[in-house]
Structure 1
Amino acid sequence: MDPIIAATHADPYPYYAQLRDQGGLIFHEGLKMWVASSARAVAAVLAHPDCHVRPVAEPVPKAIAGGLAGKVFGQLMRMNEGERQRCPRSAIEPGLGLIDGDEVNALVAARLITPDVDGLYNAMFRGPVCVVAALLGFTPAQGRTISELTADFVACLSSLSVQAQLNAAQAAAEHLRGYFIELLDDPDNKSPLLTGIRERFAGDQETLIANLIGLFSQTFEATAGLIGNALLAVIRHPSLQQGCVDDLIAETQRFDPSVQNTRRFVAAPCETEGVRLHAGDVVLVLLASANRDPQLNDSPDVFRLDRPQRRSFTFGAGRHQCPGQLLALGIASATLREILAHQPAPERLAWEYRPSLNGRIPVFRDVA
């Protein structure tokens, strides 16, 4: 076991506890990087101005630097610091927090959800992107196509992707850009979300398009994993179906999050938690471990729907905290509610975690 393999291990949480016992911020000789595992260390690294989201010498991964996927990547607010991060965020974040929950519920309910494995896959991976697409003013047919393109595009965000997947991601970026050019030129678009974003955004159109594509990519796997892990919680503990689905989703994102870790790259010599970091150092930030730190939540290894003062790092913290947290939770709750209403047969389902270095995303299959 190591802190990266842990993300898709059957139960990584005892291992995370061992790491916390060794110290909140330690150097892992095998990975040649620092590992932040305690709530205090994770909070400190995420807040430190010299701990950046990308290496200074490689703002865009070399594997995609030559195409449009790389250009999109390089303009994403989540992959930048300073004004290149603040400008798109200040335009997009306010609107995401104002989306009507009833509208999200209606958009999810309008989709055909079936309890078989294909239906679960579509509900988890395709549905959330379709909801965001509808909120921006795309038609249902366009939303379905966009969800397929997003599935291809997110491959450019993973270092596990092979060349064929990276090629598909480049093509998907081109198509997604085309959809947004048409949407932004459409005088009949009545989306309050898109209208507000455009009114607040002060940058150029290409940066706006890149960050709207980023909304889809951030929605895709993280929300799928949240829905899937909540369904696993119900399969393991059927009595959870009797509780509030909103509470179930909220506790799942703390207890068994879809985003297990993230990374920070040290841009300049600095000190945090009594540890001296050097420019070029890499810090693996174990968000899921911090969520289970007793210093953050009482009885952290207990799944509690009624947990008071629930605290979590799943959506990040500080300047790079996910701006779409409320929307993601709303989509996940509405989707799980629809899935459970169709009464899936757990004895017919098996699952495995999607290959990933940081995500914990179950993919369901029929029992052979």
Structure 2
Amino acid sequence: MRREDLCHDVRQRLVRLPEPHHAHYGVVPLPPPEDAVPLGSVLARSEAANQALARVDALAAGLRDPYLLSRVLTRREAVSSAGIEGTNSTLDELLVVEETDDGGATAAAVQVRDYARALDRLIPCAQTQRTAIFTLDLVRHLHRSVMTGDAAYKDVPGDLRRVVVWIGGAGIAYSTFNPPPPAAVPACLDQNLEYLRNEGMQAMTQGILTRMAIGHAHFEAVHPFRDGNGRVGRLLLPLMMAAEGRVPLYLSPYIEAHKQAYYDALKAAQQRLEWHVLVGFLADAVVATVDELMETRRALAELRDIWLRRRTFRGGSAALRALDLLPHYPVITVNRLAKELGVTFRAADTAVQLLERAGILTERTGYRRNRLFTATEVLTVINRPFGAEPALPGSGSETD
């Protein structure tokens, strides 16, 4: 970490690190600012993001879908957030692991599954508890959720670090930023959580995007754990939105597609206190994510119409009702379908056979029992590269 990369106020927060890193210094971050943050050149981008948030809030108000669009979006968030840190799984692998509880799943798939399950559990809690959810227990729980499945992790998941860490570079001599020494972590994390609870002046002087940017950058600067900080920090972003009564957006797919810009924005905030740079990045992420969500929603509605043109389904039948379920469960078993629709196994099995004949579901195991089915066309829409146009099939036509 080079002193010349740090602004004056950050340099004033340098402290010598403990042995065996006594030749180096770490930064004890300033408490998150509660005053208004000048947005300057990113003001228009911030306003565009606020309009996008209002747009998606209005959409959510008219829907009964607790996932807004599909539970698969939280799974895509989990895959992307892990991928940013080099933990590589795929959406398809994750959905198979969740549906089969496969004991032979890779460690990466288990970590990603646990990340997604943490979102499932905690988003409703944030919506109910609001900003009171931001406690040390929450952060430790989030860390356990994303790191318990990592057999290579050297500490106890959820325990604050007791070692020196650094960000970037092959070693501390080549790092881009050195977080505070272990002894300073608890107090710094308390400051972060106090800020996230939004009980200070920032509630009146800063908008949601600014608070997200400052809270995220400060958390990553504290780096309270040996590893897994990025994933925990990105989990906090949708929780902040949910806690403030907004629709939680999942920004990791955008971040993964613009990873270098993300790192540059974090460095600007942490090294030079240029908060507006990260506000601008998150504003762009929000606008692009809302656009992507709307396009996905449109494509899935069109896909349902295509399916209905392929085959005529009896009104109220399990097969017809399944069409609305598949965007949530594009990898599914007969048992799952029966449970979600509240029908018998036999009725669900008949529905699956009809959906197979229509080319809507494809059996992927080749087994006679414990079969697994995939709505490949749904996965193609949801799992496309960020910003790409959805690829929709031709309709064809068939009737019972």
Q: State if a TM-score over 0.5 links the two structures.
A: no
Indicate the structure whose relative CO is greater, using CA pairs within 8 Å and at least 6 residues apart: 1
TM-score norm. by structure 1 comes to 0.27
Q: Which has the larger radius of gyration?
A: 2
TM-score norm. by structure 2 comes to 0.26
* Larger strand proportion of the pair: 1
